[in-house]
Amino acid sequence: MVHEFKNRKTIIIGEVNTGKTVYLCEILNRFLDEGEKEIALIDMAPESIKGIGGKIDNEKIDAIKYYTAQIVAPRLTGKTVEEVETFAQHNAKLIDEIFVEYLKNPGKVLFINDVSIYLQAGDLNELLSLLHSTPTVIMNGYYGFSLGGGKLGERERENMKALQSRCDRVIERVTTSP
């Protein structure tokens, strides 16, 4: 049942702990089970903090190109507004480096875990260029209010809204059930 995602840009959005990453993994496994080749995953998620977030945990990860970096959860780690901004900017630089690496040999299918972390301080146009390099993109990202606002939250929300408008399909997760 991967045909509903093929040659489309799909984004899965929702609050924290609504099963966005679990659902992304389920879709990834479907692609692998159907024998899809040239799959890549850019994992932008930080390690789980206080039960929030976390990188993809998938036993089939060896079958795909996997890109990640040591990402920090700015709002959950930073103690001041300045520190939160610094973490977000550092994350964006690390992810920009991943983009450069990925674009050397893009896949046919790209999964992105936690795209919203990049949009806290990264360049939406850089992300859109990356998305245009791959026919099929399935990504997830935080789109809620529970982590607070401020400049970082507003920028992230604005960019996520703009990203959604450029996707073929937006799937909103409101509960943790599949």
Give residue-wise pLDDT tens across range 121-147: 999 999 999 999 999 999 999 998 777
Do 75 and 65 meet the contact criterion of CB atoms below 8 Å apart? no
On whether residue 10 sits in a domain, the answer given is: yes
On whether residue 156 sits in a domain, the answer given is: yes
Report the pLDDT value the prediction gives residue 53, as an integer from 0 to 100.
Answer: 66
Report the pLDDT value the prediction gives residue 144, as an integer from 0 to 100.
Answer: 83
On whether residue 102 sits in a domain, the answer given is: yes
On whether residue 153 sits in a domain, the answer given is: yes
Which residue from 124, 125, 103 is spatially nearest to 42, judged by alpha carbons?
A: 103
Which parts of the chain have pLDDT scores under 50?
177-178
C-alpha distance from residue 73 to each of 12, 70, 140, 144 (Å) = 19, 10, 16, 15
- Looking at the structure of the chain, the number of domains it has is 1
Domain interval for residue 96 = 2-173
Report the pLDDT value the prediction gives residue 76, as an integer from 0 to 100.
Answer: 82
On whether residue 178 sits in a domain, the answer given is: no
On whether residue 26 sits in a domain, the answer given is: yes
Q: Which three-class secondary structure state does DSSP give residue 140?
A: strand
Report the pLDDT value the prediction gives residue 49, as an integer from 0 to 100.
Answer: 66
CATH at 30: 3.40.50.300
